[in-house]
Chain A
């Protein structure tokens, strides 16, 4: 499955993919329960008619914040990859969100709750990501013959 000479991250541990699936499934239950899989609810939040979504990002950030903080403090490495726990250092998105009430994770979950119309949004996201990559590459080619990307 992986490209030539590149070790896929999941090849490092047999439980890697099951864990990612389980984590994704919990994430998906959360998205469905929090109503973020429904564009209408997201639009009502953005129009200040129901501010409940503040609790979604708030609740998620607190859990993630505590976990990241505790693991970073432990000074250990992740058991399945050996990656060291630590903080990662390092828009148009808002227009799309405001226009349609979807974002990537919520769109996948929306498909899960049977909202097939959301496929328009998923298709749009792929087109947008491709366009951005395509334009970026052609600009890099125009700027220098051998870009160090």
Chain B
């Protein structure tokens, strides 16, 4: 019994409640939108659909982006507002990351390319896709998880902190 508690402490040093409840809320938000509209709301198509406002590239001027770009902006504003409300309520607002800007920028570029090649991100594939039992999404998540773990371990091993 004692060993089980030690193992749980090692694997989950911060406990699991905030993770579990946060995850349930993420699912609830997604489910609510789906129940009302039949749309699988993912976060990454926002990038392309928002580019359609400013870019003349045919790639971005596809009907599916133009038809969805307004609500995708509203969805993203909702995410920002919800996170802001929570952090203000808990007094955590204003926290800033120690991760270096170059990593955020370079990581962002790769995410921009990768999510568009893979047609989805952690919310589209990881929540909607896995939740609906899509094999494509499960494979996609397995691959990006494995690659992300490899890169994170590698960067850590190189001595880059945090």
* A65 CB contact (under 8 Å) in B41, B52, B133: B133
- Please provide the chain B residues from 21 to 35 with a CB less than 8 Å away from any CB of chain A in the complex: 21-35
Rounded to whole Å, the gap between the CB of B66 and the closest CB of chain A is 4
B24:A59 contact, CB within 8 angstroms: yes
CA distance A130 to B47 in the complex (A): 8
B108:A102 contact, CB within 8 angstroms: yes
* A113 CB contact (under 8 Å) in B68, B84, B116: B84
Q: Which residues of B contact A73 (CB under 8 A)?
A: none
Chain B interface size range = 35 or more
A129:B51 contact, CB within 8 angstroms: yes
Rounded to whole Å, the gap between the CB of B80 and the closest CB of chain A is 4
The closest CB in chain A to the CB of B12 belongs to: A52
The closest CB in chain A to the CB of B52 belongs to: A3
CA distance A67 to B117 in the complex (A): 28
* A64 CB contact (under 8 Å) in B18, B21, B127: B127
Rounded to whole Å, the gap between the CB of A46 and the closest CB of chain B is 3
- Please provide the chain B residues from 1 to 57 with a CB less than 8 Å away from any CB of chain A in the complex: 11-16, 18-41, 43-44, 46-48, 50-52, 55, 57
Rounded to whole Å, the gap between the CB of B40 and the closest CB of chain A is 6
Q: How would residues 95 to 111 of chain B score, 1 for a CB under 8 Å from any chain A CB and 0 otherwise?
A: 11111011111111111
Given A33-B86, A129-B48, is A97 in contact with B144 using a C-beta cutoff of 8 Å?
Answer: yes
* B51 CB contact (under 8 Å) in A23, A32, A103, A130: A130
Given A67-B31, A91-B144, A112-B79, is A81 in contact with B109 using a C-beta cutoff of 8 Å?
Answer: no
CA distance A71 to B102 in the complex (A): 44
Q: Which residues of B contact A32 (CB under 8 A)?
A: 22, 82-83, 86-87, 92
Given A104-B115, A113-B93, A137-B59, is A47 in contact with B108 using a C-beta cutoff of 8 Å?
Answer: no
CA distance A6 to B64 in the complex (A): 9
Q: Which residues of A contact B24 (CB under 8 A)?
A: 30, 59-60, 62-63
CA distance A51 to B19 in the complex (A): 10
A129:B116 contact, CB within 8 angstroms: yes
Q: How would residues 45 to 63 of chain A score, 1 for a CB under 8 Å from any chain B CB and 0 otherwise?
A: 0111111111111111111
CA distance A50 to B151 in the complex (A): 17
A96:B51 contact, CB within 8 angstroms: no
- Please provide the chain A residues from 122 to 137 with a CB less than 8 Å away from any CB of chain B in the complex: 122-134, 136-137
Query: Which 8 pairs, one residue from A and one from B, show the smallest C-beta to C-beta distance?
Result: A128-B112, A124-B108, A24-B78, A34-B22, A100-B107, A28-B82, A59-B23, A94-B147
List 6 extra interface pairs beyond A64-B127, A95-B110, CB under 8 A. A10-B74, A28-B86, A32-B92, A33-B86, A50-B13, A95-B147
